[in-house]
Amino acid sequence: MSDDNDGPQQTRATGETVLRYHLCWKHRDLDGVMALYHPQIQYHDFFQNRVLGLSELREYVGSSMPRESDEALEHSDRIRLDGNTAFIQYQMTLRGGEGLVSFHSSEAITVRDGLIWRVNEYASLVREQVASASIGGIRAATSRLGLSPRQLSFMADDLQQYFQRQQAYLDPGLDLQRVAKECGYSRNQISYLLNQVLGQSFYRYVNQARLQHLLAALEKAAPPVRVDELAFTAGFNSLSAFYKCFREHTGLSPKAYAKEISLRARAQDSL
């Protein structure tokens, strides 16, 4: 009889521990979360293929926990229990440099001695549309490459700052490997961020930066303007790629765009 009763009792105890754990996350109680970890906790982040111990988890949890008023963590399913193991699914919404980003996460949590002894975590970005003038629109992706949600937002900011400050796009031979190395991330992480989160290929992202540089130069250039020369100076190594990028962005040919600039300048001079 005692063995038959141990199962349900253990399941209830597991459920109580995991519910407290989830509520501490939801209420942004970092100390409460840490208090529920077993001293021998093994936290498996399967996408990054790493295991974190207790000494590493405070920083990891702190970087992933919702903080702002519009950030949230909500269950997407009930807690499912099986003896000393619980399975939870939730959606986390965090604010980063590009606005609100939502993640779907699932965890298998093993409880020992009333504390969380093991966590197997899986997470993936989900499509999210945010109605805010400061946000570019929809950010879609399928998985996380070894980064917490907040780190992924920081990575987008790091990439933008790198292009603005270093102007590496002026090098026509710039490649993804170099960008990743100089930004401090892996090649796969930068590729994932561009393709899945920002919805652009690496070369499209780079050419957009080159085009912005060229447009700024066009505004300052004195006639006669040699747009092809400006394109090569900006880092384009193909005129066909430049013309395609230019027309997609402005809706005009470079010659027509330069003419518009000249007409605007004349109109201002006549005032």
DSSP codes of every residue in 179-216: HHHHHTS-HHHHHHIIIIIS---HHHHHHHHHHHHHHH
Write out the E strands in the chain: 37-45, 50-52, 72-75, 80-82, 85-96, 99-112, 115-126
Judged against a pLDDT cut of 80, whether residue 110 lies above it is answered with yes
Instruction: Quote the pLDDT of residue 257.
Output: 86
Structural domains of the chain in order of their starting residue, each with its CATH number: 2-147 (3.10.450.50), 204-270 (1.10.10.60)
Is 234:172 a contact under the CB 8 Å cutoff?
no
Look at the chain and count its residues: 271
pLDDT of residue 141: 35
Interval 119-143 mean pLDDT: 47
* Residues near 21 by beta carbon (within 8 Å), at least 6 away in sequence: 33, 36, 109, 116
pLDDT at 39 over 80: yes
Q: What pLDDT score was predicted for residue 197?
A: 67
DSSP state of 175: -
pLDDT digits (tens, 9 = 90+) for 156-184: 778 888 998 999 999 999 999 999 999 88
Q: What single-letter DSSP state applies at residue 221?
A: P
Give the C-alpha separation, 204 to 236, whole Å: 11
Give yes or no for residue 42 having a pLDDT over 80: yes
Confidence of residue 106 (pLDDT cuts 50, 70, 90): confident
Q: State the virtual CA torsion across 44, 49, 57, 98 in degrees, nearest 10.
A: -120
Residues of the chain above pLDDT 70, percent: 76
- Say yes or no to pLDDT of 75 above 80: no
- Give the model's pLDDT for residue 211: 92
Mean pLDDT to the nearest integer, 212-231:
86
**pLDDT confidence tier of residue 133, bands split at 50, 70 and 90:** very low
Neighbours of 251 (CB within 10 A): 9
